[in-house]
C-alpha cells in the first residue's frame, strides 16, 4: 500500500505482541490471588525480617560454642539439660505459664459473663475500667506492683501492719515470689480473655438459648451444653495465644525479682538474658530461649488441629 | 543576546582548571578530620555529662573532628544491650563504654589499646590490678580504664548510730587524712558482725542484700576474698571444697541472721533506699546514696561516713567497679578515637570531671588519688575522703570471683553465685548442701 496508510508488517506484529503482553499483565494483575499476595507482601517482608530471619539466626547461634567460632550442634542443649538450675527454670516457666493462663481463662470467663449480663451504658463503663490493666504499658504497671511489694514502702505491708500483722517479704521468699509474679501476670492478662470471651458470647445465637429454655435446661446446663461448645474455638485460640505470650514473658519477672530469690522465679526469657547478654554467652542464651519452641509448637499443633476439626464439623 | 546553554570547549577548560585547583585550597571545617561517635555512660550526676560534653567539644574544636556524644544509661541494661547489638551488627558508635566484664565479652571485636595505655601509664603510673584483670585479653588492653563511672562500693555508715548502738567511732577509725590509726585494725568482719547485731536490736538493720544484682555480688565477693575463699582458682580449677570456703560460710551462717528479712530480694536501689529512709545503720555503696540523701534527707547525709571494708584473715578487699572506653574494630576513625580517649584520660580532664561529680568518679591511675575533692566534699566535711583506696587503709581493689579466669568469673559474678550461697544459708540450708549446689553450678561454668 503505497498511499501512506499502510503499516509495515513487522511494526504491526510488534504492536500486537505489546498489546498481548499488556493484556496478559492486566489479567495477571486482575487475578485475585496475585492482588492478595501483593497486598500481603509488606507484611510478609516484615515477618521475614523481624521474625523468620531472627528465628533462623537464633537457631544458628544456638549451635555455636561460647566464642562463636565452632559449630557444636546440640551440645548447648545437652549441657543445659544436665544443669539443676536450668531444670528449675523449665519447671518455673511451665508453672508460671500454665497457672497464669488457667487463672486468666477462668477469671476472664467469669468477668465476660458478668459483663454480658450488664446492660447498656453501665457495661461500657465497667468494660472500660476492666480493660485498664491491659492498656497500661506492662513495664510501668509492673513497676507499680513492685513498689507495692517493696519491703520498705510496701502498701500491702503497711495495711498488714495497720491490722497488727507482720510484714511479708513478698519477693524475698521463693514460693511467695512465684505467686507474686503469677498474680501480676494474671492481673495484666485477664482483660484480654474477658474481651475475647465477651465477643464470643455475643456471637452465640439467642435461638439456641430459647430452644434450651423450651427443653427446660437449667442455667448450668445452658452453660455447659450451649455456651461452652459454641465458644470452644475462641477459648482454644485465646488459650494458645496467651500461652505463647506468657511463656515468652520477660518484663514481669525481670522487674519484680530479676529471677531471684535463688533462681526460683526465672523463666526462659529472663534466664536467657542473664546467661546470653549479661554473662556474654550468646549461644547458650539462644539455646535457652529456643527451649520454648518445641513446647509451644506441640501445644499449637494440638490446639489448631482441634479448631480445624470443629470448623469442618460445623461446615459439614 | 541570550546566553547559550551549550558546553563549549572554552567553558569546559575553565571548569577543568577550577576542579584541578580545588584540592590546593585547604578548606578547614569543623569535621575536616572526620567524624566520631562516642557512647558515654549516662552519669547519675547530671553535671558529669555536662563537663564531659565540654571536654569533648574542646578537643573536637582543636582537632577539627566532628564528634557525636551519646550518653547511654545503664538503667534497664541499655548500655549492655547497646554494646551487644553493636557487636552483632558491626556498626554503631566508634567508641563505647564497657562496664566490668563487658570488654572481655567483646574481646574479639575490640581494637587493642596498648599504645594509648603505654603513653598513659608512662605519664601517670600503673592502674589497679582489677583494671588489668577485666580489661586485658591475651596481654592486650581491650579498652582504656575510664574514671567516668568507676567506683568503689565500700561501707557507708551512720556515724551516730554506729557509735551509739555498736560503739564504733568510724570517724576516729578512718579520719579524713591518710593516717593509719590503731582503731582501724579493729575493723574486722567479726567487728562488723557484732555491729550488725547491735544495730538490728535498735531497729537499724544493715542494708546489705543477698540478691542477684551487682551490689549484693560485690559485697559478698569482698567478704569471700577477705577469708581467702576462692570458688575457682586462677588456673580455672574448682576450689570450693576448701577450709577457707567453709570458714566464710560458717561466718555467713551467723551474718545472714542480722540482714533484712527481704535481703534476697534486694536490688541495687534497695540499699540506697534503706539508708535514705533513715532505717539503716550501714550499707555498702558508692557515695551516690549519700548524694541523694544530701538532697532528700540532709540530716541523714550529714551523719554518713564512707570508710574501708572490714579486714578478714586474708586482708581488706574493696569492691571495685571499673569502666572502660573501648574502640570497635569496625570504627572508621581509629586514630582520632584513640586521641580523644587519651585526651580524656589525662590528669586535668580527669580532675575536672571528678570535681564536678563531688568525687564519685574514681581515677584508674593510683597517682591521681590526690585530688582535693575528696577532702572537701561534705557534709560532714571529709565524708568521702576514704572512698578512694588510701595507702593507710592497707586495702586492695577487688572484683567478685577474682582470680578465676575471667570467662568463668563473669558467670560466677553475673549468676550471683556468692550471694546466692549466703541466701541459701539464710533460708536454712546447711553448709554441705550449699557447697553441693555451688559445685554443680561451677561445673557448668567451667565447661
Task: Note whether B123 and B159 are same-domain residues.
Answer: no
Q: Does B162 score more than 80 pLDDT?
A: yes
Residue located via cell numbers 569482698 = B222
In this structure, the answer to whether residues B279 and B368 fall within a common structural domain is no
A12 pLDDT more than 70: no
Residue B315: beta bridge partners? B312
pLDDT exceeds 50 at position B28: no
Percent of chain B with pLDDT over 70: 93
Arithmetic mean of pLDDT, B187-216: 95
Average pLDDT for B331-356: 96
Q: Kindly state whether residues B132 and B52 are assigned to the same domain.
A: yes
Residue B25 lies in a domain: no
Is residue B182 domain-shared with residue B244, that is, in the same domain? yes
B20 — pLDDT class (breaks 50, 70, 90): low
Report whether pLDDT(B14) > 80.
no
Which is higher by pLDDT, A140 or A21?
A140
Average pLDDT for residues A172-200, to the nearest whole number? 93
- Domain assignment of residue B363, yes or no: yes
Q: Could you tell me if B419 and B338 lie in one domain?
A: no
The whole-angstrom distance between residue B245's C-alpha and the CA centroid of its chain comes to 26
Same domain, B94 and B192: no
Residue A69 pLDDT: 86
The Cα–Cα gap between A96 and B103 comes to: 35
Contact A66 B407 (CB under 8 A): yes
Average pLDDT over residues B188-217: 95
The verdict on residue B121 lying in a domain is yes
B169 or A83, which is more confident? B169
CATH number, domain with residue A213: 1.10.3720.10
pLDDT digits (tens, 9 = 90+) for A98-121: 999 999 999 999 999 999 888 778
Is B405 within 8 Å of chain A by CB? no
d(CA A142, CA A253): 9
| A14 and A89 fall within a common domain | no
C-alpha B371/C-alpha B415 separation (Å) is: 36
- Radius of gyration of chain A, Cα coordinates, nearest whole angstrom: 28
* pLDDT number for residue B378: 86
**Which helix H or strand E contains A124, and what residues bound it?**
helix A120-135
In this complex, the residue of A150, A260, A281 whose CB is nearest that of residue B211 is A260
Does A273 fall in a domain? yes
Quick one: A124 and A256 in the same domain?
A: yes
Count up the domains in chain B and report the number. 2
CA A60 to chain centre: 24
Residue A232 lies in a domain: yes
Residues in chain A closer than 8 A to B420 (CB atoms): 260, 262-263
B262 band by pLDDT with thresholds 50, 70 and 90: confident
- Report if residue A66 sits inside a domain: no
Residue B126 maps to a domain: yes
CA-wise closest residue to B267 among B319, B215, B219, B221: B215
Name the helix (H) or strand (E) containing B98: strand B95-99
Q: Is the pLDDT of residue A155 over 70?
A: yes
Contacts of A277 in chain B (CB under 8 A): 77, 80-81, 84
Domain-located, residue A230: yes
Query: In this structure, is residue A213 part of a structural domain?
Result: yes
**A170 shares a domain with A230:** yes
Whether the pLDDT of residue A152 is over 80: the answer is no
Give the largest Cα separation in chain A, rounded.
115
CA distances from A217 to A101, A116, A212, A214, B207 (A): 30, 20, 5, 8, 63
**Any idea what the CATH number is for the domain that residue B343 is in?**
3.40.190.10
State the average pLDDT for chain B.
Answer: 91
Cβ contact B261–A261 (<8 Å): no
Whether residue B265 has pLDDT greater than 50: yes
A185 and A283 inside one domain: yes
Closest among B231, B170, B257, B278 to B444, alpha carbons compared: B231
Residue B144 and residue B166 share a domain: no
Contact residues on chain A for B279, CB-CB shorter than 8 A: 152
Whether residue A280 and residue B105 make contact (CB cut-off 8 A), yes or no, is yes
Q: For testing the chain A interface, which of B203, B216, B262 should be mutated: the one with the most A CBs within 10 Å?
A: B262
Summarize pLDDT for B371-392 with one digit per residue, the tens.
Answer: 999 999 989 999 999 999 999 9
C-alpha Rg value of chain B to the nearest Å: 26
pLDDT tens digits along A60-85: 999 999 888 889 999 999 999 988 88
Mean pLDDT, residues A143-154 taken together? 83
Same domain for B215 and B341 = no
Asked if A280 and B437 come within 8 Å (Cβ–Cβ), the reply is: no
The verdict on a CB contact (< 8 Å) between B415 and A279 is yes
Q: Whole-angstrom Cα distance, residue A250 to residue B176?
A: 46
Residue the block writes with cell 578530620: B33
Indicate whether A187 and A246 sit together in one domain.
Answer: yes
Instruction: Encode pLDDT of A32-57 as tens digits.
Output: 888 888 999 999 999 999 989 999 99
> Most B CBs within 10 Å: which of A260, A269, A287, A288, as the mutation test of the B interface?
A260
Instruction: Report the distance separating Cα A117 and Cα A115, nearest Å.
Output: 5
On whether both B99 and B58 belong to a single domain, the answer is: yes
Parent domain of B47: 35-151+321-374
Structural domain total, chain A: 2
Q: How confident is the model at residue A15 (pLDDT cuts 50, 70, 90)?
A: low
If one compares B25 and B91, the residue with the highest pLDDT of the two is B91
Residue A104 belongs to domain spanning:
75-315
Please tell me which residue, A20 or B294, carries the higher pLDDT value: B294
Given a contact cutoff of 8 angstroms between Cβ atoms, the answer to whether B101 and B409 are in contact is: yes
pLDDT at B4 over 60: no
Q: Using 50, 70 and 90 to split pLDDT, how confident is the model at A2?
A: very low
**Residues B300 and A211 sit within 8 Å (Cβ to Cβ):** no
pLDDT of residue B27 exceeding 50, the answer is: no
B427 touches chain A (CB under 8 A): yes
Q: Is the ipTM of this complex over 0.85?
A: no
Amino acid at each position: 500500500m503505497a498511499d501512506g496508510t499502510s503499516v509495515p508488517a513487522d511494526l504491526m506484529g510488534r504492536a500486537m505482541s505489546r498489546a498481548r503482553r499488556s493484556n496478559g499483565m492486566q489479567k495477571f494483575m486482575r487475578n485475585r490471588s496475585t492482588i492478595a499476595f501483593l497486598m500481603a507482601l509488606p507484611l510478609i517482608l516484615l515477618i521475614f525480617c523481624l521474625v523468620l530471619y531472627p528465628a533462623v539466626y537464633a537457631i544458628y547461634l544456638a549451635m555455636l560454642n561460647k566464642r562463636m567460632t565452632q559449630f557444636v550442634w546440640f551440645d548447648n542443649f545437652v549441657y543445659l539439660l544436665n544443669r539443676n538450675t536450668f531444670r528449675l527454670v523449665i519447671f518455673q516457666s511451665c508453672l508460671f505459664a500454665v497457672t497464669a493462663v488457667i487463672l486468666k481463662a477462668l477469671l476472664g470467663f467469669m468477668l465476660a459473663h458478668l459483663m454480658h449480663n450488664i446492660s447498656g451504658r453501665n457495661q461500657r463503663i465497667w468494660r472500660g475500667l476492666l480493660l485498664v490493666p491491659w492498656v497500661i504499658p506492662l513495664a510501668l504497671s509492673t513497676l507499680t506492683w513492685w513498689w507495692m511489694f517493696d519491703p520498705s514502702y510496701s502498701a500491702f505491708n503497711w495495711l498488714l501492719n495497720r491490722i497488727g500483722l507482720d510484714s511479708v517479704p513478698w519477693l524475698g521468699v521463693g514460693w511467695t515470689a512465684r505467686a507474686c509474679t503469677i498474680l501480676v501476670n494474671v492481673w495484666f492478662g485477664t482483660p484480654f480473655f474477658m474481651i475475647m470471651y465477651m465477643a464470643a458470647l455475643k456471637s452465640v445465637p439467642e435461638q439456641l438459648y430459647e430452644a434450651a429454655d423450651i427443653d427446660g435446661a437449667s442455667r448450668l446446663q445452658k452453660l455447659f451444653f450451649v455456651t461452652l461448645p459454641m465458644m470452644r474455638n475462641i477459648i482454644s485460640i485465646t488459650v494458645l495465644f496467651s500461652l505463647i505470650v506468657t511463656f515468652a514473658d520477660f518484663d514481669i519477672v525481670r522487674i519484680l525479682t530479676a529471677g531471684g530469690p535463688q533462681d526460683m522465679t526465672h523463666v526462659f526469657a529472663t534466664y536467657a538474658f542473664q546467661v546470653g547478654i549479661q554473662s556474654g554467652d550468646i549461644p547458650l542464651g539462644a539455646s535457652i530461649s529456643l527451649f520454648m519452641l518445641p513446647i509451644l509448637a506441640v501445644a499449637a499443633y494440638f490446639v489448631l488441629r482441634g479448631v480445624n476439626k470443629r470448623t469442618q464439623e460445623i461446615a459439614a | 543576546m541570550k546566553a547559550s546553554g551549550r558546553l563549549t570547549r572554552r567553558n569546559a577548560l575553565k571548569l577543568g582548571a577550577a576542579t584541578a585547583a580545588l584540592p590546593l585550597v585547604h578548606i578547614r571545617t569543623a569535621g575536616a578530620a572526620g567524624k566520631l561517635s562516642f557512647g558515654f555512660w549516662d552519669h547519675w550526676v547530671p553535671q558529669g555529662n555536662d563537663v564531659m560534653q565540654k571536654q569533648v567539644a574542646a578537643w573536637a574544636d582543636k582537632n577539627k573532628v566532628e564528634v557525636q556524644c551519646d550518653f547511654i544509661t545503664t538503667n534497664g541494661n541499655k548500655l549492655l544491650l547497646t554494646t551487644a547489638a553493636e557487636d552483632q551488627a558491626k556498626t554503631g558508635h566508634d567508641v563505647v563504654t564497657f562496664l566490668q566484664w563487658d570488654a572481655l565479652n567483646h574481646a574479639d571485636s575490640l581494637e587493642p589499646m596498648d599504645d594509648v595505655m603505654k603513653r598513659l601509664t608512662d605519664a601517670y603510673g600503673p592502674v589497679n590490678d582489677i583494671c588489668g584483670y577485666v580489661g586485658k585479653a591475651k596481654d592486650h588492653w581491650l579498652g582504656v580504664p575510664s574514671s567516668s563511672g568507676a567506683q568503689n562500693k565500700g561501707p557507708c555508715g551512720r556515724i551516730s548510730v554506729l557509735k551509739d548502738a555498736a560503739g564504733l567511732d568510724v570517724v576516729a577509725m578512718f579520719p579524713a587524712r591518710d593516717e593509719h590509726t590503731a582503731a582501724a585494725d579493729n575493723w574486722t568482719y567479726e567487728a562488723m558482725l557484732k555491729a550488725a547485731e547491735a544495730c538490728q536490736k535498735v531497729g537499724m538493720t544493715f542494708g546489705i542484700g543477698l540478691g542477684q544484682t551487682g551490689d549484693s555480688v560485690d559485697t559478698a565477693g569482698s567478704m569471700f576474698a577477705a577469708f581467702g575463699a576462692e570458688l575457682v582458682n586462677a588456673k580455672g580449677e574448682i576450689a570450693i571444697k576448701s577450709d577457707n570456703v567453709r570458714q566464710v560460710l560458717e561466718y555467713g551462717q551467723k551474718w545472714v541472721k542480722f540482714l533484712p528479712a527481704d535481703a534476697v530480694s534486694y536490688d541495687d536501689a534497695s540499699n540506697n533506699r534503706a539508708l535514705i529512709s533513715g532505717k539503716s545503720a550501714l550499707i555498702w555503696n558508692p557515695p551516690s546514696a549519700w548524694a541523694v540523701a544530701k538532697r532528700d534527707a540532709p540530716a541523714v547525709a550529714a551523719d554518713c561516713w564512707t570508710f574501708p571494708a572490714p579486714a578478714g584473715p586474708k586482708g581488706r578487699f574493696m569492691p571495685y567497679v571499673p569502666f572502660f572506653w573501648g574502640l570497635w574494630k569496625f570504627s572508621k576513625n581509629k586514630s582520632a578515637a584513640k586521641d580523644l580517649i587519651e585526651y580524656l584520660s589525662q590528669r586535668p580532664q580527669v580532675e575536672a570531671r571528678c570535681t564536678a561529680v563531688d568525687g564519685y568518679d574514681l581515677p584508674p591511675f593510683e597517682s591521681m588519688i590526690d585530688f582535693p575533692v575528696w577532702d572537701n566534699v561534705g557534709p560532714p566535711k571529709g565524708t568521702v575522703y576514704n572512698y578512694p583506696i588510701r595507702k593507710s587503709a592497707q586495702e586492695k581493689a577487688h572484683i567478685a570471683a577474682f582470680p578465676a579466669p575471667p570467662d568463668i568469673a563473669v558467670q560466677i559474678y553475673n549468676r550471683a553465685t556468692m550471694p546466692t550461697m549466703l541466701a541459701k544459708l539464710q533460708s536454712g540450708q546447711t553448709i554441705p548442701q550449699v557447697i553441693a549446689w555451688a559445685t554443680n553450678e561451677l561445673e557448668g561454668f567451667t565447661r
